[in-house]
Structure 1
Amino acid sequence: MERSAFIVQAIVLVYLLMGILMATIPAEVDLAKKKIFRTLRLISAAKARTPLNQRESRISRGVGIGIAVAALFVLTQMHLRVGEMSEHQRPAWSNPAASEETVSDTSLHHTVKRVIDPVADQYIGLIVATVADDEWDITGFGRINLKSNIPPDHHTLFEIGSISKVFTGILLAEMITTTDLALDTPVSSCLPALQGSQADTMTLEHLVTHTSGLPRMPAGTFRPSNIWKAMIAGDAYRNYTEQDLLAKVPNKPSETPSEPDVRYSNVGFGILGMILSEQSGEDYHHLIQARIAKPLGLQDSGVTLDEEQQSRLATGYRSYLHLGPYYLAQQAASWNFPNCLAAAGGLRSTASDMLVFLKANMGQLSSDLTPVLQQSHQPLFATEEIQIGMGWFHDTLPTSDEPIIWHNGGTGGYRSFIGFTANGRFGVCVLSNSTRSVDTIGYTLLENLIAERPMIT
């Protein structure tokens, strides 16, 4: 995402320069163009030497002005931010049980700092929640936005993107125990509009394990309005409808069902969220509140934010280039998911809530949801390359060969990672308000914790 954003910005700047040159020195631009065409043998030598006449010069100037104005308009819509970093910044802090000015002095905190300090300046802001056996740490780095020197803390909200999918998987596991739903429930039996389609042979298990065969994105992804939003880091998902998702389900059921294969699908999880909402009579936000947030004591995890929570949302940035004391960044709009897609990536949360969520999934916090959480981890689909539970991915760390359970996420201006060892000893959640991946931070921190704290047998 970050690299593609820089490419788009560079292309717009090239068009701006080209427009300015065409408007100010049309004859020289035309001569340079003809030299290139002549070198490529696209025009004759005589044509290459023909100068612009007055009419052609006026047309070139007009086109150049048009290109420059259009490029300037696009640049203004991109919300680019250029400035100088302040050298005076509050220190990163941890341990929200203490005051916000307190920096914990545990070995766990030192491990977190040692791993992340060398890469922290590649990000605008980071907050890292870490669990190691009976210790925990929350440490913030950077800043909540480029106008501030304040680092994120345990109450700072971030978009967590596709980590929402593991919440959705847990919702499914919970509703299987409390309703008539089952993993083998046909999708079309829950959504009558899909009866007679491929959804007749598609089950809830297919949706939650990305084996439904549905595509990654809903219909309408390449509408001009959505392409424009993607280019300017706008609110990309706001206007999607249920029909945009259902349109991606093939109309005719497959006569010879193929072997399941993994195809990561936001559409599939969106439809799963629609089914859970339909069965419960509640929208996705209120399902999360009632069935996960309240039982676990999560204070700030949901799709919609009230005014006070909105004031604590870190500003997201799609691209970020840090050169010495200066920066170039593109501010991103928040992604406001409609109910039909919220289950795929619409949640916001804090490090404090994600620490609780992490510990609950690691078996370190007991609640009525504990059996449901454990059930959501169990692999439902497995090949030599991949294992998937109810939204959770299973992997093996490359250095220690330690099995982990994990997911990551990303929206227009945020990145996230959550992962923990299958034995429940170590866990990490990383939240960032820029779009450089944080997966490597999560993996590296887990590897360091395992190396520093070997299992005593």
Structure 2
Amino acid sequence: MLISGNLAFASDEGWLYDFAAEVQSQAQSHNLPGYVFIFVRKGQPAKLITYGKTEKYGAKIDRNTVFRLASVSKTFAGVLMAKAVEQSELTWETPILDIVPEYGFNRLQPNPITLGHLMSQSSGFIPNAYDNLIEANYSLKRVLAQLAKLEPLCDPGKCYTYQNALFGVLEDYYANQQSSYASVIDQQLFKPLGMPHASTGKQGLVASPQWAKPHIAITRKKWRKASVQDDYYRYGPAAGVNASIEDMAIWVRAMLGEYPQVVSPNLINTVTTPLVKTKREMRRRKWRKFLNDAHYGIGWRVYDFNGHKLNYHGGWVEGYRADVAFAPDQQVGYAMLMNAESNLINSFTAQFWQAYFNSVEQQRKQEVAKQAGN
């Protein structure tokens, strides 16, 4: 359930009102086309904030408006593959060579790249290997064939090396089983969770009754509507999911444990266990003053945000930005979707969690003072 419109904020949620007002002020200052975000507490209705339109003369953005999730898609891929492992279809130690034998990945290497290395971004390949070929619209098979010839920078599992193209292995894996990644994720996650607008692929986006058109910056305050590109859609596990904010509310709830029959507590723990340290994240602008530690798990980043565990992922493709995060100990989560290629989302998400955790600390101090007064 979502709440929208003229929100009634609880007495302890003044911070959320202030945050929403600041985001809107910055959005107006930069003339952003549109965005939507949610705040979710486990077991309670979500708070929904919308702004702007799908395009200049389009419909107002609402809970049903569909956006591209870009690399937030990796959070779904992580959970889907954890389910495959849970169901004994694969193991984290299964070599990529066994998953797609036709490419010969690491055939002569003593330490093969495994499914676990793929999903934890620790393949050892140079970061973002052959993203340029994706954007040049090379076929998936041609890109994977090129990847298979690369020499790793480090042994698999020993260093963080973020990838997109390598996730194409999962597209081929399901195709080789006379299925597709899109149909499997629909059957295993979207339908069981009851996500009304979620899909994978370009056709899923443009077939939506209402979808947000992508926008790229011309100047700091001017935006131009762009066309939807096919490139990263060919790599569904990396960047191919589409969703509305209503879908994202359900996804956050699933990661908070509200759908244990679909996403079990053990599975949540698996995908959010730190596996490889991500030192570069510690220097991330707008975030670095809050981060004490940063790792990658299985399709999720795992941060120490001023002493609090925060599971997070962001996404960026031409014309869209997306963020999702949840704090398991607090049982709260957040997601933001934009139809603009704006770096403002980085500061918005960091500001959100700063405001939330500050409110928690203030409530704690008030409770201590109240007890001392008694």
How many matched pairs?
339
Question: How much has 1:186 moved relative to structure 2?
Answer: 0.9
1:386 aligned to 2:294?
yes
Distance of aligned partners of 1:167 and 1:258 in 2 relative to their CA distance in 1, 3 Å threshold? closer
Q: CA deviation at 1:362?
A: 1.8
Q: Distance in 1 between matches of 2:233 and 2:181?
A: 6
> 333, 356, 361: which is aligned to 2:227?
333
Q: Which secondary structure does the structure 1 equivalent of 2:254 belong to?
A: helix
2:27 pairs, out of 120, 124, 133, with: 120
Go from structure 1 to structure 2 and tell me whether the alpha carbon gap of 1:320 and 1:447 turns closer, same or farther (over 3 Å shift). farther
Q: Percent identity?
A: 18
1:447/1:245 Cα in 2 relative to 1: closer, same or farther (>3 Å)? same
Instruction: Kindly state the Cα deviation for residue 118 of structure 1 after the two structures are TM-superposed.
Output: 2.2
Q: CA deviation at 1:241?
A: 2.2
Superposed displacement of residue 106, structure 1 = 1.9
- Specify the SS of the correspondent of 1:449: helix
Query: Letter of the aligned partner of 2:273 in structure 1?
Result: Q
Residue matched to 2:271: 376
Q: Which residue of structure 2 aligns with residue 185 of structure 1? A: 94
Query: Alpha-carbon deviations, 1:420-450, whole Å to 9, x = none?
Result: 1131432110100010121221121122122
Question: CA distance change for structure 1 residues 341 and 435 in 2, over 3 Å: closer, same or farther?
Answer: same
SS in 2 for 1:453: helix
Match of 1:29 in 2: none
Q: For the Cα contact (< 8 Å) 1:183–1:205, is it kept in 2?
A: yes
The within-5 A match list for 1:180-219 is 180-195=89-104, 196-198=107-109, 201-217=112-128, 219=130
Q: Check 1:197–1:145 CA distance in 2 against 1; reply closer, same or farther (3 A cut).
A: farther
The counterpart of 1:415, out of the listed 312, 315, 321, is 321
> Which residue number corresponds to residue 266 of structure 1?
164
Deviations 1:127-147 (A, max 9, x none): 001114535211101221122
CA distance in 2, matches of 1:280, 1:138: 40
Displacement of 1:412 in angstroms is 0.6
Q: In structure 2, list runs of 5 or more residues that go unmatched.
A: 280-292, 368-374
Per the alignment, residue 426 of structure 1 pairs with: 332
* Distance in 1 of aligned mates of 2:25 and 2:357: 20
| Cα contact 1:417–1:429 (8 A) shared by 2 | yes
Matches of 1:278 and 1:308, distance apart in 2: 23
Q: How does 1:103-142 map to 2 (within 5 A)?
A: 103-107=6-10, 108=13, 110-121=17-28, 122=30, 123-132=32-41, 134-142=44-52
What amino acid sits opposite 2:119 in the alignment?
V
Residue 248 in 1 paired to residue 159 in 2?
no
> 1:31-430 counterparts in 2 under 5 A?
96=2, 102-107=5-10, 108=13, 110-121=17-28, 122=30, 123-132=32-41, 134-148=44-58, 150-195=59-104, 196-198=107-109, 201-217=112-128, 219=130, 221=132, 236=135, 239-250=138-149, 257=155, 260-275=158-173, 277-278=174-175, 281-304=178-201, 305=203, 309-319=207-217, 321=219, 328-337=222-231, 341-371=235-265, 372-382=267-277, 386-397=294-305, 400-430=306-336
Equivalents in 1 of 2:137, 2:66: separation in Å?
A: 20
Which whole-Å deviations, capped at 9, do the CAs of 1:82-119 have from their partners, x for residues lacking one?
A: xxxxxxxxxxxxx7467xxx322224462442341221
Structure 2 CA distance for aligned equivalents of residues 307 and 278 of structure 1 = 21
Q: Which one is further off, 415-424 or 447-456?
A: 447-456
Q: Is the 8 A contact 1:426 1:450 kept in 2?
A: no
| C-alpha RMSD of the superposition | 3.0
Q: Is the 8 A contact 1:271 1:340 kept in 2?
A: no
Report the Cα distance in structure 2 between the residues aligned to 1:335 and 1:104, rounded to whole angstroms: 36
Q: Assess if the C-alpha contact under 8 Å between 1:211 and 1:262 holds in 2.
A: yes
Q: In 1, are the aligned partners of 2:2 and 2:45 still within 8 Å (CA)?
A: no
1:451 to 358, 362, 365: 358
| 1-structure distance, mates of 2:244, 2:132 | 29
The normalised TM-score by structure 1 is 0.67
- Cα distance change on mapping 1:154 and 1:239 into 2, 3 Å: farther
Residues 1:290 and 1:112: Cα distance change in structure 2 (over 3 Å): farther
C-alpha separation in 2, matches of 1:402 and 1:253: 34
Q: Sort the Cα spacing of 1:143 and 1:252 in 2 relative to 1 into closer, same or farther, 3 A.
A: closer
The match for 2:284 is none
Q: Please list the CA deviations of residues 169-211 of structure 1 after superposition, one character each: whole Å capped at 9, or x if unmatched.
A: 1111000012331111111012111333559711111111111
Distance 1:282 1:292 in 2: 16
Give the Cα separation in 1 of the matches to 2:205 and 2:20: 33
Q: Which amino acid aligns with 1:244?
A: V
Aligned counterparts of 1:259 and 1:308: Cα–Cα separation in 2: 38
> Cα distance 1:127–1:351, how it changes in 2: closer, same or farther (>3 A)?
same
- Alpha-carbon offset, residue 387 of structure 1: 1.4
What code does the residue aligned with 1:369 have?
Answer: V
The structure with the larger Rg is 1
| 1:386 alignment partner, SS class | strand
CA distance in 1, matches of 2:234, 2:204: 21
Q: Does the 8 A contact of 2:323 with 2:349 survive in 1?
A: yes
The 2-side partners of 1:297 and 1:165 are apart by 19
- Measure the CA separation in 2 of the matches of 1:426 and 1:365: 15
Secondary structure of the structure 2 residue equivalent to 1:185? coil
SS at match of 2:200: coil
State the AA in 2 paired with 1:240.
S
- The SS at the match of 2:235 is helix
Query: 1:321: Cα distance to partner?
Result: 3.8
Is the 8 Å Cα contact of residues 214 and 249 (structure 1) preserved in structure 2?
A: no
